[in-house]
A and B are shown apart, each in its own frame.
Chain A
């Protein structure tokens, strides 16, 4: 049994085929990279897995259970948490309250707000944001908000974590830090699917990489295989370099 299995997934918007016959698997404990040019369908894939979009056809199986087209609040309850490419913070909440939503709902819901607050502080600490616990989300910088989203997703105790361009806009030093953090998260037992534009970051991070182009999988393999794959080079650098 695969941890996550996506089979013959299709999704179109009007005439546009955003995802076409997509197949892939993720095994427990992996960090899988999902890359591809702008508009190749990476975010759409995450939206389909988390129920934010309903596929036209195909199935998504998570830990042996068919989760295709479940209401979007159910994915997190089953252990799939995500971050958003464009951050979606609860702006008038404090950072701590933002994270508490993940802890109080999430995979192990609780009505005990005091305990939830304690554990949420631990999540904030994990992403290095504890000193901003009482700051309002709207007063945080964009980079801080990205970390906040990560803390919030972690507080939901996911089994599978989907990260949508978490590192976009970071400088090389910050990106390196983020990569270490993502590896630590994996080592704590969470399987991760990372969407990233920065090829360099994803090569250093991923155990395995899936490449999309126009909604289709054009390559899949180890990072060193991917960098030498002619089709990938063609897509990323244009035909001349292939």
Chain B
């Protein structure tokens, strides 16, 4: 990381930390919280989908399991942090359980397989826990948005920071090698299965923690709601729109997603879904690196142009 980047990141974090102090409006804080929630989900999806090249369409299952178990433990008297941690670990356990058979499937079959498993869980949870889950009266009486906001902020920083360390380590190199060319990676001693399972577990752990944070945040929802496939597809779209396999991509994607959805704000007709769907297809077809790639290309083009100009100038000076 360059000096400029460090300063930029420090500034960004400072803004996020100070936001609830400066802006006292709940609706703004809530919106910022949603951005953070989506950063958590998209970044965790990115670890397996973006960096390891395995399109997991069952991400919502991890989010849902984290939410389900955290809500249960927390409401039955556990303190918050152990409840959330348990939610993350449950998601990892489930990931390992499905990971070994699922990774026997490749490419589109892996995607379909994970989607099917998550849908089964979604329907089952809907049938078993059909009553709405509401916070207890004593929690409602003391409910505050700001600590929830900070909870998500810490989680987003944790996930982003861990991803940064991971992708700059040996294991990250192995994961990306598996994404680029699995057979070549294995011919050089990289165990593809081990790296996929590792990426899946980390991805699931963070999604589980995010689900835990959701259980802490949301006042009342049907237990199956966090298992809904839209969490998966939203995360995936954010990652691709922002830039898959980059640190900043999911962050940009999440910010863009929430802001545009709010601007469209026609939730009744779910217009934003159509907009994002089309945008997603366009990005996949024409801009495989997402916004991050587009930005890099623009910079490169700009650098070329100013260089050409520089050449002209030097010609003029020699003419003189």
Contacts and interface: CB of A to CB of B under 8 A. Distances in A.
Verify that A and B bind, or say they do not.
yes
Query: Chain B, interface size: which category?
Result: 10 to 19
B142 interface: no
Contacts of A186: none
Contact of A105 (B176, B181, B183, B190): B190
A3 interface: no
Interface stretch (B86-94, B122-130, B154-162, B166-174): B166-174
Given A71-B191, A73-B190, A105 B184 contact: no
A91 B176 CA distance: 11
Contacts of B169: 111, 113
10 contacts: A72-B186, A76-B187, A77-B189, A84-B187, A88-B183, A89-B180, A90-B176, A101-B177, A105-B188, A109-B189
Most buried by A among B177, B181, B183, B189: B189
Given A89-B184, A113-B173, A101 B190 contact: yes
Contacts of A156: 188-189
A50 B174 CA distance: 19
Contacts of A110: 170
A72 B192 CA distance: 10
A92 B180 contact: yes
Contact of A104 (B173, B183, B187): B173
Given A90-B180, A91-B180, A92-B180, A82 B173 contact: no
Most buried by B among A81, A90, A100: A90
Interface string A162-201: 0000000000000000000000000000000000000000
B191 A73 contact: yes
Interface string A61-79: 0000000000111111100
Nearest to A90: B180
The B interface is mostly helix, strand or loop, or mixed, namely helix
Contacts of A97: 173
A107 interface: yes
Contact of A101 (B183, B185, B191): B185
A208 interface: no
Contact of B184 (A77, A88, A100, A109): A88
Interface of B: 168-170, 173-174, 176-177, 180-181, 183-192
Nearest to B245: A92
A106 interface: yes
B192 A73 contact: yes
Q: Which 7 A-B pairs have the closest CB atoms?
A: A105-B189, A90-B180, A76-B189, A88-B184, A73-B191, A73-B186, A102-B188
A50 B189 CA distance: 11
Nearest to B172: A113
Interface string A211-239: 00000000000000000000000000000
A98 to B, nearest CB: 9
Nearest to A109: B189
B189 A106 contact: yes
B191 A82 contact: no
Contacts of A149: 184
A93 interface: yes
A93 B180 contact: yes
Given A101-B173, A113-B169, A113-B173, A76 B188 contact: yes
Contacts of B173: 97, 100-101, 104, 113
Interface in A105-151: 105-107, 109-111, 113, 149
Nearest to A100: B173
A142 B191 CA distance: 27
Nearest to A91: B180
Contacts of A113: 168-170, 173
Given A113-B169, A113-B173, A152 B180 contact: no
Contacts of A82: 187
A26 to B, nearest CB: 19
